[in-house]
Structure 1
Amino acid sequence: MREIRHRELLRMLPFDAQIVDALPSHEYKAAHIRRAIHIPVGHILRDAPTMLDRARPVVVYCRDSL
């Protein structure tokens, strides 16, 4: 895992990167990146294996990551 900047995320979008929003539900509903998949941080280990495609890049963001 590594940290990326906003510009790098924008470059990844055309290549079908999966964006995971790990914020609590109320924060996700208030604002999130378009196309982001909502998996709250406490559920990532449980839900990510069935919700994400291992063959595609994954970017996870949370409160301090934008």
Structure 2
Amino acid sequence: MREIQHRELLRMLSSGVQVVDALPTHEYATAHIRGAIHIPVGRILRDAPALLDRTRPVVVYCRDSL
């Protein structure tokens, strides 16, 4: 796992990366990256296997600085 910067994420989005927003529901409802899959941090281990494509890269964020 590694941290990426905003510009790198923008490049990755064009190549089919999956973006997971792990913020609480009320924060996700306020603002999130368009197309992000919402999986609150407490549910990632339970829900991610059913919601994510294991053949594609994944970027997870839980606090944004956008």
TM-score when normalising by structure 2: 0.94
For 1:44, give the aligned amino acid: I
Q: How does 1:39-50 map to 2 (within 5 A)?
A: 39-50=39-50
Which residue number in structure 1 is paired with residue 13 of structure 2? 13
Instruction: Report how far residue 65 of structure 1 moved.
Output: 6.2
Instruction: Report how far residue 56 of structure 1 moved.
Output: 0.5
Instruction: Report how far residue 63 of structure 1 moved.
Output: 1.3
Q: Secondary structure at 1:10's aligned position in 2? A: helix
Question: What is the aligned residue count?
Answer: 66
Question: Unaligned regions of 5+ residues in structure 2, if any?
Answer: none
CA deviation string 1:7-45 (max 9, x = no partner): 110000111110000000000000000000000000000
Q: Which runs of 4+ in 1 moved over 4 A?
A: none
What RMSD over aligned residues (CA atoms) do the two structures have, in Å? 1.2
Which residue number in structure 1 is paired with residue 53 of structure 2? 53
For 1:61, give the aligned amino acid: Y
Question: Unaligned regions of 5+ residues in structure 1, if any?
Answer: none
The alignment-based identity, stated in percent, is 79
